[in-house]
Structure 1
Amino acid sequence: MHGRQGERTTGIREFFAARAVGWETRYPDDTPAYAAAVGELGLLPGGRALDVGCGTARALPLLRGAVGASGTVVGVDLTPEMLREAAALGRRGAGALVEADSELLPFREGVFDAVFAAGLVHHLPDPAAGLRELARVTGPGGRLALFHPLGRAALAARRGHGLRPDDVRARPRIGRLLDATGWELLLLDDAENRYLALAVRRR
């Protein structure tokens, strides 16, 4: 990546690197919301799940619970400090941790049954490229969950600003974006206590 996109990627890495240690202590009550979102993926024992932009890999034990011992669980993040914090929290026991850019994933086509992405899409330098890459590594009929444990309005209020008209997660923008990158939007739930855009990989 070059120019502005590369600068933004570097900025994202630096932002999260500085906050990695103790990250989860800032948001201690999110696990039930994560569990509900993982449940929407419909994973079966033996399935293959990717947590992209995994951060401290909070979702990995939940994904492991869904696919069981015979399944595959991989967490990917751009920030090595986040992955070190995930390892310190014991998350390697639930799945592999891989340092990689979500727009350049080191996996073959169609290898995953489901992709979980918490707090990712609005950080992507190029959301269309990122979602297209997630489609590439997901098999036909596989599901994608774009998730945040707060809805857009609640998250904006927490950060002291209003909803942004250019927010990639807003309806109908996210639907058009998913449609253009190989996905079909099944559900958009932008409530106070969560944001969930659930999509299926078109066959």
Structure 2
Amino acid sequence: MRNMSDDHTHVQEFFTARAAGWDSRFPDDGPAYAAAVAESGLRAGDRVLDAGCGTGRALPPLRAAVGPSGTVLGLDLTPAMLQAAVRAGRQRDGLLLLADVAALPLRGESLDAVFAAGLIAHLPEPARNLRELARVVRPGGTLALFHPVGRAALAARQGRRITSDDLRAEGNLGPLLARSGWHLTSYVDEDARFLALAVREA
């Protein structure tokens, strides 16, 4: 059985070491985030969670999408990433929470949507963690799984090959989401971005 605290420590160490320079490493990702948010179907007044928000790059477009009457939450496991979000002024666009997606400090069905950039590769128990995201979203609400580059481009950047067990492959992701309370409705995997959209099932 996997030790959850070891998973958490590994993720925190990985992102703590990279937090200060994260935004400067990927300075051109802003338009891709904005485009993904625009396609996620958010409306004025919606309540949305940025799960694994990191330095909060999605928070400004999420705030623009839901407007002043909406609610934007940014949640991350790594204090250094949230500190970087504050330094960038992104706490003005959403409430920042230090918490784990495995145990969200939110009521059931309290959200309209979840946006998650680069999250799925870091989930220690993907099916269980996606079920926890489903718990806090109302039936008919949405999930956007995003990355500013596609699977092949990301693998090349990391000096590796895509393997058949890649969770983000459409043939793996669809069934995984279905087991977790979601229905995959849209899937795009191209060099410039990865975006999978799903709806919370009743």
TM-score w.r.t. structure 2 length?
Answer: 0.97
- State how 1:1-203 maps to structure 2 within 5 Å: 3-203=2-202
1:164, CA displacement in angstroms?
2.0
1:154, CA displacement in angstroms?
0.4
Query: In 2, distance between residues paired with 1:83 and 1:6?
Result: 20
1:6, CA displacement in angstroms?
2.3
**Deviation readout 1:106-148 (Å, 9 max, x if unpaired):** 0000111110000001110000111001100001111100000
1:62, CA displacement in angstroms?
0.6
Whichever residue aligns with residue 42 of structure 2, its letter is L
Q: Alignment partner of 1:130: what SS?
A: helix
Whichever residue aligns with residue 176 of structure 1, its letter is P
Query: In 2, distance between residues paired with 1:66 and 1:37?
Result: 11
TM-score w.r.t. structure 1 length?
Answer: 0.97
**Deviation readout 1:35-55 (Å, 9 max, x if unpaired):** 111112211111101000000
Q: Alignment partner of 1:164: what SS?
A: coil
Alignment: residue pair count = 202
Q: Alignment partner of 2:176: what SS?
A: helix
Identity %: 58
Gaps of 5+ in 1: none
1:3, CA displacement in angstroms?
4.7
Whichever residue aligns with residue 137 of structure 1, its letter is V
Whichever residue aligns with residue 24 of structure 1, its letter is D
